Structures are given as structure tokens and as C-alpha cells.
């Protein structure tokens, strides 16, 4: 059974993309605040816009075959005709726009039976489903949300390592981020090169498209290693 491991990077769309009514809705909770608090709250909401599929876009998707470690990174780039290339078994594919990126992703995904993510059920999968629907991009795999308490077709490691949040926020199986799990299990953290997901918007503005792609690929490689450990040591626990 072929398994794909993937991760996405997103970036907020410009505020001018939204009309006056939409902007009023987005920032409605700031209206009763004092000026300083209002500014801070607007900045907070603007930052979180990159996490919502109706206010942001997919700018990169990295994917690896869990068994062969071959894969592809698809990313937005203005110089898309020149900025592609390979790094060993992984092909970097630059795309002109988000429609092309999502179309290319679903074309690859249809060849896989199962999927592995870190927090994919909570973020990556619903995000790409909704972005694909908004852009009228056909979705080749519509069962990736699946039944939460199952690892097929979707194994979400964030849920597996907390045993489906069995002990809440502060118990023995509390949830940590991918960086923390990687360091705990002796895996190279995707943040070890000084880039985090919060830097994606800035890197996009600076036209550092390949840096975004390489960071996203590091996330997926770390997820693959974490998946191997989970599969060998924890899979099957109920």
C-alpha cells in the first residue's frame, strides 16, 4: 500500500483582496478596544489570517513516498519557468499560481492509498480541500479526513502521539509541536536551519521561493522519520 507524507505552507492574502464588509467582519472584535489594544488585536488577527483558507493561499506543498523517500515539492514562484530542479530523489516543481500547484498535487495524490501528516486532519487536509473548492480544482482524494480514531487512510501523528488527546492539555500525553517531538526523539528539527512557518509570508514577499520549498521539505522529512518511530514503537496501542 503506497503511503504519501505531505505538508503545506500558506500565506495570507492581501487585505485589499477583501471588500469593506469582509474586512469589517474580520476585525469586528477590535472595534470596542482602545487604540493601542485595537492595533495589537488587528495585528494578531492579520497574523492568523495565514491559517484560514478563506483568507490565505497555499504557496508550497512538499510530499514524499514513505517507503522510497522519493517525492516532489511544488511551490509558487514568479520565475516559475526557471526555478525548478532536483535535489537527489526529490524534484522541485515551480508553479505559476495556486491553481496549477493544487492541480499538480491532486494529480500526484491519486496514486497513493494512504496519507501521513502531522496535524493534517486539523489543518493541512481541510485547508487544501477548501482552497481546492474555492478555486474549482478537482479533488482526487476525498476520504482523507476519514474516521478520526483510525490510521487508515489517514495517520495524523499529532493525534497518534497524544492518543487522540486522551489526557487533555496538561496530562501525560499532552500535545507538543513537531519541533519538540523531533528533538525529543533525536530527529533533526525542520527549524534547525533558522526558518519557521511564521517566516513564510516574509520569504514570499522577498521572493525567496526556494527557501520556502526547502523548509517545507524539511518538515516532511522530519514527519517521515517520526512516522517510522511511531510505526515501530507505538502503532497498535489502543
| pLDDT at residue number 83 | 46
Residue 74 phi/psi, 5° resolution? -110, 130
DSSP output for the chain: --EEEEEEEEEEPPGGGS-HHHHHHHTGGGTTS-HHHHHHHHHHHHHHGGG-TTTEEEEEEEEEETTT--EEEEEE-TTTTTS-EEETTEEEEEESSHHHHHHHHHHHHTT-SEEEESSIIIIIHHHHHHHHHHTTPPPS---SS--TT--SSEEEHHHHTTTTTTTTTTSTT----HHHHHHHHTPPPGGGGS--GGGHHHHHHTT-HHHHHHHHHHHHHHHHHHHHHHHHHTTT--
| pLDDT at residue number 86 | 52
Q: How far apart are CA 118 and CA 157, in angstroms?
A: 5
CATH number, span 3-233: 3.30.420.10
Q: Retrieve residue 73's grid coordinates.
A: 515539492
Q: What angle do CA 48, 49, 50 make, to 5 degrees?
A: 90
Which residues in the chain land under pLDDT 70?
80-87
Are the C-beta atoms of 209 and 139 separated by less than 8 Å?
no
Amino acid at each position: 500500500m503506497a503511503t504519501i507524507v505531505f505538508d503545506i505552507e500558506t500565506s495570507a492574502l492581501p487585505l485589499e483582496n477583501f471588500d469593506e464588509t469582509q474586512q469589517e467582519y474580520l476585525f469586528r472584535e477590535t472595534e470596542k478596544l482602545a487604540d493601542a489594544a485595537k492595533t495589537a488585536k488587528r495585528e494578531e488577527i492579520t497574523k492568523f489570517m495565514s491559517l484560514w483558507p478563506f483568507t490565505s493561499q497555499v504557496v508550497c506543498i512538499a510530499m514524499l513516498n514513505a517507503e522510497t523517500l522519493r517525492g516532489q515539492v511544488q511551490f509558487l514562484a514568479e520565475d516559475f519557468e526557471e526555478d525548478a530542479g532536483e535535489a537527489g530523489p526529490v524534484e522541485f516543481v515551480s508553479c505559476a499560481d495556486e491553481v496549477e500547484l493544487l492541480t499538480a498535487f491532486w494529480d500526484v495524490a491519486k496514486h497513493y492509498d494512504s496519507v501521513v501528516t502531522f496535524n493534517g486532519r486539523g489543518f493541512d487536509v481541510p485547508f487544501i480541500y477548501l482552497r481546492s473548492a474555492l478555486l474549482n480544482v478537482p479533488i482526487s482524494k476525498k476520504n482523507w479526513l476519514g474516521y478520526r480514531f483510525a490510521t487508515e487512510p489517514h495517520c495524523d501523528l499529532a493525534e497518534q502521539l497524544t492518543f487522540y488527546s486522551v489526557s487533555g492539555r496538561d496530562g501525560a500525553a499532552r500535545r507538543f509541536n513537531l519541533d519538540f517531538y523531533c528533538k525529543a526523539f533525536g530527529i533533526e528539527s525542520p527549524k534547525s536551519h533558522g526558518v519557521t512557518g511564521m517566516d513564510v509570508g516574509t520569504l514570499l514577499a522577498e521572493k525567496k521561493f526556494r527557501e520556502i520549498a526547502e523548509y517545507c521539505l524539511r518538515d516532511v522529512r522530519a514527519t517521515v522519520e517520526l512516522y517510522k518511530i511511531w510505526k515501530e514503537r507505538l502503532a497498535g496501542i489502543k
